[in-house]
A and B are shown apart, each in its own frame.
Chain A
Amino acid sequence: MLRFVENLIAAGVARGTPLLFATLGEVFAERAGVLNLGVEGMMLLGAASGFGVAHLSGSAALGLLCAMGAAALLALVHAGVTVSLAGDQVVSGLGLGFFGGGLASVLGADLVGLADVPRLPTLELGGLSRVPLLGPVVFSQNLVVYLGFALLPLAWLYLFRTRWGLRLRAVGESPAAADALGIGVARMRYAHVALGGALAGLAGASLSLAVTPGWVDGMTAGQGWIAVGLVIFGGWNPLRAALGAYLFGAIRRLPLDLQGVQSLPLFRNPNLGYFLDMLPYLFTIGVLVFAGATRRRARAGRPARAGAPAALGQPFIRGERGR
């Protein structure tokens, strides 16, 4: 039993890490007021390009960096269209998502099934990894997982304890006020959308170079979309979002583990797999329902901190004569 739980949590954390990166990236973008729906496509691009570069160069780390760069470039296009050209954020994001996904498919066409591509190393921290429960979960994971552990508090500190984080929050809530205070709204938006893209690329590369690993067309299987949902669930707060990401990692792992359980007759039905596969997606919907319900209750009390950045989704045009 303990084994089961240990494996589940350890695998959950591992599988949740790409989700974590993607979710954190989207938190930053949305905190700046820009909705980026191309996360899925950017993750795919990151996965394919990271894998490809690792294969060609022999260095997984280089692949990781290139993945981040490629996805960030794509995100910059989104920023250009939505910030400078005040284009519709939904359509732009979707379009870029298609583009990224298609590009990933093209780039990855020759990469399917490649086996001996360098991966990111797994680190076992000596004796600590033998500690029950905590050991496998925290001390015996892939490099990217540790990266995730490190990124999490950094993200929170950035957002709530630094001056850039303060400015970022102002920009997302009230770009007009931020602008009047001399904060460069466009600059902040570009920067954080690009950051979001880079993190999405990191997420994809973590998948293809560590968690899964390998490249299959469409391997993200909707995790980019789940990430967007997790941002809402997490209330645009990095810590809550991380909790959601790890939880989801565990949920995605669950079907595999459950199918091995021979004790209950239900679990022996071969068709169960299809329905277990639905779990993550149904859970995402459930999570959003829950988030919506809490928000409604919160509105009755203290409305302020519970909701989306007020300016999310709206283009900001400086100096338009208000009417």
Chain B
Amino acid sequence: MRLELRPRLYVSPARSALSTAASVVVALVLGGLLLWAAGVDPLAAYRAIFDASLLGGAYALSDTTVKTIPLLLCGLGCALAFRARLWNVGAEGQLLLGAWAATGVASFWLPAASLPSPLVLLLMGIAAVVAGALWAGIAGALRAHLEVNEIISTLMLVYVAQKLINYFVFGAWSEGGFPLTPLFPESAHLPRLADWAERFPSLSGLTAHLGIVVGLLACGLVWLLLKRSVWGFELRVLGDSPPAARYIGLSVPRRMLATMLISGGLAGLAGMLEVAGVVHRLQDRFSPGYGFVAIAVAWLGRLNPWGVLLGAFLFAALLVGAKEVQPGGISMMLQGVVMLTVVAGDFLLRYEVRRLEERTGA
């Protein structure tokens, strides 16, 4: 029996979404097998995961929302870069730099404590975006002008960023020798649902913060950019075929750089929202690898902003629930499985597999 591959003539968005959903289901099934092999009851584990993240009432949803925010923003940044065939896998580093810059503004810029909160937060946001953008921009410039492989350069910069943060958190900015910086002044705290607990007692203890609004706004803006703007169209051409982009008069190096800057800026913003909304200081390991998970999120969302939103939510749920599951590395394995099933599933989207009839010799 011989198989023949034929490229599919047209793939409807519906089919694509269905295929993605199916891939996720397959991934979860495979994940269940893994859990079973690890000696954990898969059904109980998944139950626990879903309870903790989605079904357990307001707390669960709030926790999941908190984790969705950085995944969403980093995911948007990754998706944008991937569309231009720029493999920005260093979102984690850009996130760290953004957090660092925001911390610098919040804790070490003297006027910060006395200025009104919206202004401080805005300045922190700007600093974070700039820091993240520049961090990604290094890799972008190296790729655009020196053809340095951006996968490696962005990744190396993640390690450098981690060491840099370590220096500040353990050393220069450390409070009392502990691996954390001083608590931010009130003006640098992102409002969270729990802040209104006096007025609405049901909101007490809910840590979901304003970052979600920022995230959703960013989602909409990215969508607008990609679908409706000339720049987004040109990005698509660039990602599809760099020779065609040159042919229509685009400067490929400049576009690459610009894309990396935006991508890094989004990740940097994610970092700021994490430190301003969740921990209110810069501390060791405040990110469980959001920037890396975001790669899977972007891919799962098919590089489409709303898909990324859904993917971010799903992975956030997994991250929240993962605390319920031992041993620890399972969530990372699951990430990998999801990426693999989506890539493998792509095959069925792009090609039709037909069976060749055996040739009849005359």
Binding site for B on A (CB under 8 A): 37, 41, 77, 81, 85-88, 90-92, 94-106, 109, 217, 221-222, 225-226, 228-229, 232, 270-271, 274-275, 277-278, 281-282, 284-285, 288-289, 292-293, 295-296, 317, 320
Partner of A95, one of B38, B160, B166, B336: B336
8 tightest A-B CB contacts, nearest first: A105-B329, A99-B336, A95-B339, A102-B332, A102-B333, A98-B336, A274-B167, A102-B329
In B313-342, the 8 Å CB interface with A consists of 327-340, 342
B152 at the interface (CB under 8 A from A): yes
Partner of B5, one of A222, A270, A320: A320
B295 touches A222 (CB 8 A): no
B299 touches A281 (CB 8 A): no
Q: If the complex has contacts A102-B330, A275-B167, are A229 and B5 also in contact, measured as CB distance less than 8 A?
A: no
B175 at the interface (CB under 8 A from A): no
Chain B residue at smallest Cβ distance from A282: B160
When chains A and B are docked, how far (Å) is the Cα of A109 from the Cα of B142?
Answer: 39
A289 touches B146 (CB 8 A): yes
B299 touches A91 (CB 8 A): yes
When chains A and B are docked, how far (Å) is the Cα of A36 from the Cα of B148?
Answer: 17
B202 at the interface (CB under 8 A from A): no
Could you tell me the distance in whole angstroms from the C-beta of A194 to the nearest C-beta in chain B?
A: 17
Please encode chain B, from 153 to 167, with 1 for each CB lying within 8 Å of some chain A CB and 0 for all others: 101110110011011
B156 touches A285 (CB 8 A): yes
B346 at the interface (CB under 8 A from A): yes
Q: If the complex has contacts A95-B296, A282-B160, A320-B5, are A100 and B336 also in contact, measured as CB distance less than 8 A?
A: yes
A106 touches B328 (CB 8 A): yes
A98 touches B335 (CB 8 A): yes
B149 at the interface (CB under 8 A from A): yes
A285 touches B343 (CB 8 A): no
When chains A and B are docked, how far (Å) is the Cα of A87 from the Cα of B343?
Answer: 6
B152 touches A225 (CB 8 A): yes
When chains A and B are docked, how far (Å) is the Cα of A212 from the Cα of B22?
Answer: 43
Binding site for A on B (CB under 8 A): 5, 7, 38, 87, 89, 142, 146-149, 151-153, 155-157, 159-160, 163-164, 166-167, 170-172, 292, 295-296, 299, 327-340, 342-344, 346-347, 350-351
When chains A and B are docked, how far (Å) is the Cα of A270 from the Cα of B338?
Answer: 43
* Interchain residue pairs with CB less than 8 A apart (24): A85-B346, A90-B151, A95-B296, A96-B336, A96-B340, A98-B332, A98-B333, A100-B336, A101-B336, A106-B328, A106-B330, A109-B328, A226-B156, A271-B172, A274-B166, A275-B163, A282-B156, A285-B148, A288-B152, A288-B153, A292-B142, A292-B146, A296-B147, A320-B7
When chains A and B are docked, how far (Å) is the Cα of A91 from the Cα of B344?
Answer: 10
Number of A-B contacts (CB under 8 A): 150
B147 touches A292 (CB 8 A): yes
Q: Decide if the interface of chain A is mainly helix, strand, loop or mixed.
A: helix
With a 10 A CB-CB cut-off, give which of A91, A92, A103 has the most chain B CB atoms. Answer: A91
A222 touches B159 (CB 8 A): yes
B328 touches A278 (CB 8 A): no
Could you tell me the distance in whole angstroms from the C-beta of A267 to the nearest C-beta in chain B?
A: 16
B171 touches A274 (CB 8 A): yes
Q: If the complex has contacts A102-B332, A232-B149, are A90 and B156 also in contact, measured as CB distance less than 8 A?
A: no
Chain B residue at smallest Cβ distance from A40: B155
Partner of B159, one of A281, A289, A293: A281
When chains A and B are docked, how far (Å) is the Cα of A37 from the Cα of B346?
Answer: 19
Partner of B153, one of A85, A271, A285: A285
B339 touches A87 (CB 8 A): no
9 further interface pairs, Cβ-Cβ under 8 Å (given A225-B155, A285-B148, A289-B146):
A87-B343, A95-B337, A101-B329, A106-B333, A232-B149, A282-B160, A285-B157, A288-B149, A289-B142
Chain B residues positioned under 8 Å from A90 (CB to CB) = 87, 151
A94 touches B163 (CB 8 A): no
Chain A residues positioned under 8 Å from B337 (CB to CB) = 95, 99
Chain A residues positioned under 8 Å from B295 (CB to CB) = 94
Chain A residues positioned under 8 Å from B351 (CB to CB) = 86
When chains A and B are docked, how far (Å) is the Cα of A261 from the Cα of B43?
Answer: 57
Could you tell me the distance in whole angstroms from the C-beta of B2 to the nearest C-beta in chain A?
A: 11
Chain B residues positioned under 8 Å from A281 (CB to CB) = 156-157, 159-160, 163
A81 touches B152 (CB 8 A): no
Chain B residues positioned under 8 Å from A96 (CB to CB) = 336, 340
B149 touches A229 (CB 8 A): yes
Chain B residues positioned under 8 Å from A101 (CB to CB) = 329, 332, 336
B328 touches A92 (CB 8 A): no
Partner of B347, one of A87, A98, A320: A87
A94 touches B164 (CB 8 A): no
Chain A residues positioned under 8 Å from B344 (CB to CB) = 81, 85, 87
Chain B residue at smallest Cβ distance from A86: B347
When chains A and B are docked, how far (Å) is the Cα of A85 from the Cα of B349?
Answer: 11
When chains A and B are docked, how far (Å) is the Cα of A238 from the Cα of B346?
Answer: 34
Chain B residues positioned under 8 Å from A92 (CB to CB) = 339-340, 343
When chains A and B are docked, how far (Å) is the Cα of A285 from the Cα of B157?
Answer: 9
When chains A and B are docked, how far (Å) is the Cα of A295 from the Cα of B172?
Answer: 41
Chain B residue at smallest Cβ distance from A88: B343
Chain A residues positioned under 8 Å from B329 (CB to CB) = 101-106, 109, 217
A102 touches B335 (CB 8 A): yes
Chain A residue at smallest Cβ distance from B289: A98
Could you tell me the distance in whole angstroms from the C-beta of B343 to the nearest C-beta in chain A?
A: 4
B327 touches A285 (CB 8 A): no
